[in-house]
Structure 1
Amino acid sequence: MSETTLEITQDLLLGGRVRLLQPAKGHRAGTDAVLLAAAAPVRPGDVAMDVGAATGAVGLMAAARVPDARFVFVERDPALAALCRRNCRDNNLHGEVAVADVLDKASRHDAGLRPESADLVLTNPPFLEEGQARISPDRSRAAAHALPAGGLEAWLKACAGLLKPKGRLVMIHRADRVAECLAILEGRLGGMELRFVHPAADRPAIRFLLSGTKGARAPLTILPPVILNGPDGRFTPQAEALHLGEAALL
Structure 2
Amino acid sequence: MTQEKPQVRPVLKRNGFTFKQFFVAHDRCAMKVGTDAILLGAWAPVAGARRVLDIGCGSGLIALMLAQRTPDAVTIDAVELDVAAAQQAQENAAQSPWSSRIHVYQQDIAAFAESSDQRYSLIVSNPPYYPPGVACATPERDAARSTTTLDHASLLRYAARLLDEEGFFCVVLPEAPGQTMVALAQDAGWHLRFRIDVAEYAHRPPHRVLLGFSPSAGETLQERMAIRNQDTHYSEAWCSLTRDFYLFM
Give TM-score, length-normalised by structure 2.
0.83
| 1:129 aligned residue | 131
Structure 2 unmatched runs, 5+: 1-13
Corresponding residue for 1:144?
144
Corresponding pairs, count: 229
Of 31, 38, 43, the residue aligned with 1:39 is 43
Secondary structure of the corresponding residue to residue 26 of structure 2: strand
Aligned to 1:5: none
Aligned equivalents of 2:53, 2:29: Cα separation in 1: 25
SS in structure 2 at match of 1:61: helix
CA distances 1:57-77 after superposition (whole Å, capped 9, x unpaired): 011011112142100011001
1:113 maps to amino acid: S
Deviation at 1:243, TM superposition (A): 2.9
Letter in 2 for 1:213: S
Shift of 1:191: 5.2
Give the letter for the 2:51 counterpart: V
SS in 1 for 2:15: strand
Superposition TM-score, scaled by structure 1 size:
0.83
2:17 alignment partner AA:
D
Unaligned runs of 5+ residues in structure 1 are 1-7
What CA distance in whole angstroms lies between the structure 2 residues aligned with 1:36 and 1:45? 15
Q: Does 1:11 align with 2:17?
A: yes
Retained in 2: the 8 A contact 1:37–1:58? yes
Judging changes above 3 Å, is the alpha-carbon distance between structure 1 residues 179 and 66 closer, same or farther for their aligned structure 2 residues? same
Report runs of 4+ in structure 1 exceeding 4 Å deviation.
none
Deviation sequence 1:131-178 (CA, Å, 0-9, x none): 4xx220312221211111881211222122210111111111110123
Alignment match, 1:97? 104
Q: Using the alignment, how far apart are the partners of 1:193 and 1:78 within structure 2?
A: 33
Answering whether residue 91 of structure 2 is matched by residue 86 of structure 1, we say: yes
- Residues 48 and 71, structure 1, Cα contact 8 Å, conserved in 2: yes
Distance 1:147 1:97 in 2: 22
CA drift of 1:209 comes to 0.5
Q: Quick check: 1:157–1:185 contact (8 Å CA) kept in 2?
A: no
Which residue is equivalent to 1:22?
26
**Residue 182 (structure 1) shift:** 1.1
CA offset at residue 48 of structure 1? 0.1
